[in-house]
Amino acid sequence: MVSKLLLAAQEAFLTATESGAVPEVVDQIAGCYADIRKGIGFNKSPQEYGAFPADPYSHTPAHSGARQPGMTGQVKEDIISRFGELGIEVRDGCLHIRPRLLERSEFITAPASFRYIDTRGTVKHMPVPAGALAFTFCQVPFCYLRGTGQQGIEITRADGTKKNIKGHVLDQTLSAELFGRQGKISSVTVSL
């Protein structure tokens, strides 16, 4: 139920920001969202949460494998909420990137290597600079850079060419390449 509440609070936050609500109201909703998120099971040990850890399968007995494969509602809602925090939105076939609920503490403070599996199933590593955050969407690595002075998106294609986009929206063609996991896009860098 807490995951459902988290998702509902996120929806209220997005509705408030899109409808032009007063900044104080938007900030209050964002604060409530952060408080709810801190209470979710993945942020607490099983002892603190008072239950067993979240498992990606329903009805999985300890003595055998999954009996009813599929994610539990909590896991699905937490994934949806996480992509909402990352600002990943699809509208009219276009990917919009508008992270408004990310915490500064989520950006790394020292350079690191990000391990991921690309669209061809190959394990890859991508360097991530300090002040950045990395994740994958449709098996394509995204890197958010904070405080670069410019806002925009840089698409790196599989052939090594780059395309710079002003703003934070991929057009329908680029979005379709990403959604289709065609392997034409090798990375997406977003300057915030």
Q: Which pLDDT value is given to residue 38?
A: 83
Q: Which pLDDT value is given to residue 191?
A: 94
Cβ neighbours, 10 Å, residue 173: 11
Alpha carbon distance 182, 155 (integer Å): 14
Q: Which pLDDT value is given to residue 150?
A: 80
Q: Is 62 helix (H, G, I), strand (E, B) or coil?
A: coil
Q: Is 156 helix (H, G, I), strand (E, B) or coil?
A: strand
Q: At what angle do helices 2-18 and 73-85 cross, to 10 degrees?
A: 30
Q: Which pLDDT value is given to residue 79?
A: 86
Q: Which pLDDT value is given to residue 2?
A: 77
pLDDT tens string, the chain, 192 residues long: the values are 778 888 899 999 999 999 999 999 999 999 998 888 887 656 666 666 665 555 555 555 666 665 555 556 677 888 889 999 999 999 999 999 999 999 899 999 999 999 999 999 999 999 999 999 999 999 999 999 987 678 899 999 999 999 999 999 999 999 999 999 999 999 999 998
Q: Which pLDDT value is given to residue 179?
A: 97
Q: Which amino acid type is present at position 172?
A: Q
Alpha carbon distance 39, 82 (integer Å): 15
Note if the pTM is more than 0.75.
yes
Q: Which pLDDT value is given to residue 35?
A: 87
